[in-house]
Structure formats: C-alpha cells, structure tokens
Structure 1
Amino acid sequence: MSVFDLNAVLDEAVDRHPFRPAVSCDGFETDFERLDESVEWLREELVARGVQPRARIGVCITDGWEFVLAFHVLARLDAVMVPIDPFDDVSLRGAGELDLHHIIFHREQDAVLEEAVALISGEAFCPMFDVAEVFTLVVVSVDSPLHVEGGLFLNELGFRFRSSVEVGARTAALSVGLELGPESRVMVCGPWSCPCAVLLLLACATSGSCVQVIQEPRGYGGVLESVAVVVGGSGGAPQSLGRDAIY
C-alpha cells in the first residue's frame, strides 16, 4: 500500500500469504485466509446492527484472540477504534469523553459489562445486542456526529487520536525496526488496550507475520511461564517479547 489504508490492512497479507499462520492462541492457529473470512463475517454482523464507517467504537476486550478479531473487523469497517481496559476506571471515564457510538465486549466479560458501560456512558442502561454469540455490542449514542476520518484513539497518558497516516508511519517503523516478515512469529501479551499491542498487531498484519497470543498473564513471571510453554512446544523462539504487549 503506497498510502496506508487502515481498512485494507489485511488485504496484502491475504493476497500474498493466504495459508501462512496469522494468529496462534492457546493451541489454536488460523491462517490469513481463514482470519479474513472470520473478519468479513463479523463485519457483516456489525453492519447489520448499525455500525458505520468513521463511528467511534470502544473495544473493551481483554482476551487476545477475540481482541485480534474485533480489531481487524473494525479496521475493515474504517471505524475509529478506541481500545479500552475494562478493568481500569480511569480509562473507562476517559473513553466516556470521546462521545462513543458503540462499545464491543467479549461475552466472557459480562461480569464487568454494566459497570464499565455506566462509567463510559454515564447512563444506567444502554441498548445491547448479541453479535456472533461471542460479543456484546452496546449502543451508546448513534446520533453523535461521525468522526472526520478513520483512525485510532490510543491511551497514551490520555486518549489521543491517531489518523491512518500517523498509524501507518508508526506501523511501518515498527515493521522495519523488528525486521518483521512472513517467517516471523511475534508474542503479544496484555493489556490489549496498550498502544504498543495495537500497533504491533497492525505491523504483523502488514508484514504477514504471525501473532502469538499470550493469554492474560499475571505479572511478568506469568509471562515468562507462558513463553516457556509456547517456545517449548513450538520448536522455535518467537521473534519478540515484552512486558506490556511490547516487543
């Protein structure tokens, strides 16, 4: 892509490396072609529920595979994505100032859903819909004006908007700096709302690299234990690892 198009970030990888692994998580692995099929199916589900391009969508998901899927779906939709930590009250209140249209939760986080929605929206109740039997779509304010362009709000000491051009520049620098390519496997661990995790997902997609998801580690010791299991069973070390979804 000569000009970075967030909504086309998977296209080149699917065209060039359809059968190479895209995501590996907890013993499950999917290639770029199957990931693309899942993305398109879920995209249609969200569109049917009223999600529009340039709508501001909170992604309130801690689970790795589900975050990867939802993130790529919203990128395909050219939405404005706002990754949010559902267990961080400061983050939730900060996201509430962005006039969100919708929020997406993973169904396994139903225990915190109502409290998180109240902190973001300031309302005791918002309409909610099941999506694909895995996600909950919360309608916050469909009447809010759409954003002027697609991109990301990244929580870097406060939510700051990053346009597709800015995201593209940072993603390209990350790909070059890490020497990512179709043979690369990159470990990513939580929190998934971390800007580094988000940009690393995009860098992997644009370079045809495989995201090796580390599920909900409890501290850095938990990360190391998970890494030992993954590396011991994979026959080769992933390309990168860091403390907070960092490389």
Structure 2
Amino acid sequence: MASSGKPVPSPCAARGSEAVKGRRGIAALLLDETPLTRECLSAGLSLRDPSLTMRTAASLDEAKAMLAGAPRPSVVLCNVVSLTPPNGSVLATLRDLAGAFGGTPLVILSDGEEDLPLEASRLGVRGCLPTSVGLAVAQEAVRLVAGGGTFFPSPFLHRLLPRREAMEDDPPMPSGGAALTARQRGVLQRLREGKSNRVIAQELGISENTAKVHVRGILRALGAANRVEAVRKAWQPAESESLSRGRDRGRDRD
C-alpha cells in the first residue's frame, strides 16, 4: 500500500488544544515500507500526542521528496528492517540511510539486533528505539531527539561499553571482509584460529546462539559454504597481494 505522505488525522482533534497546551508542536516523518506497522505506529503516536504531526513514507525516495518540501520534519523515525532486502544486511541498510537525511535527526527502530545500536551511534544516528517499548516511550523519544537530544535506552548503553572494549582488541579487518560488522570481524578472527562457537561465545561475552548467528552472517556476507571457505575468502586477497608484491620485488632484483 502506497503512502499519501499526508499528516495522519487525529481522532483527538476535539481535545487537541488541551493536549497541546505547554507542548511544542513537532513535525515527524515515519519511514517504513511495511503498511501495517507504518500506519499503526503513526496513528498511535498521533492519538497519544496531537501536538506530534506524523507524516509517513513507504520508500526512501518518498521520504527524500518530503524532506525537500515544506514543512520540513524535525525528526525522521525509520524502520530499518523494513527497508532491508531479503537476506540483506540490516547494518548495510543503516549505513546507506545514515547520510540520506542531511541534518535532520534520525531515530531508528530496533528489533533487538545486537550490533545496531553501536553502529548507529558511530554513524551519528540520534536515537535507537527498541520495538519492545510502548507508545509513551516512543513519543518521548521522538520529542527528545527533535529537541536536540539523543535516545539510547539504558539496556543498550550497558551493553555498548563492554562491546566497545572488546572490539578494541579485535584484529584489523581482513581485506576480503569489508562487508562484515566489527563484531563479525572478531568472530571471523576466532574462526581462523579454529575455535568453536562455545569458545567464541565465552571470549566475546555473548551467548553461544548469538555466536552461531554471527557465523551464519559471516558465511552469507562472504558467500561461503562453511567456516574454512569463509576464512579463505576473507584472507586470500591479502595473501595473494603479498605474494604478488614478493614476486615483483624479486623481478626488480633480477
């Protein structure tokens, strides 16, 4: 279902003056390719806070067109998962989106992807809103970011610090692993060392099931059928380049 891009009418209009009193009106744009979540979240936020004018877009192109017009939204709320193609990377989609809205603050929805909040903070995203929260929290998060603040729930923040520390010890990205996340890079290095999922999980402070998910993501990103092939594909370009440089130096000496 295509989105009209028009503000969602609020059934609370009759009592809107009471709800708006003391609250600054905010124009927000919700980008979500999934019709049900797009319409429900937009209507729910408008119902809860009539001073929050919600517009919706079903595609990135549609969202960009709205941002170029007037009135310009004060904040963009984006369901990154809905924009990610099947078997695609949510983090890759996030990287593409991060610079798409110019100076308009961006808040992303998260279904619990472990690497998403960290990558979002690195890319300058102003908020990460888990889908486990209610409308009251979502409403305040949107208002906070529109007002110049940031919103990263405390459970995410508690996980970010140890993760940052763990990633500082990770080795450099192999030349064949450019599509991998920082966490996948650490897992891949341990695969190269022949470590099991259980050992990888213990070393990185994650569950064994999460380690398995990262391994599957690595295989998919590298187009590998198994661990051995993944390691070979990740490091082989660097090793081939090193061998080529060695041969070139030998020719120079000759």
Q: Same fold (TM over 0.5)?
A: no
Structure 1 length normalisation: TM-score?
0.30
- The structure with the larger Rg is 2
- Greater RCO, 1 or 2 (C-alpha within 8 Å, sep 6+): 1
Structure 2 length normalisation: TM-score?
0.29
Give the structure with the larger helix fraction.
2
Give the structure with the larger strand fraction.
1
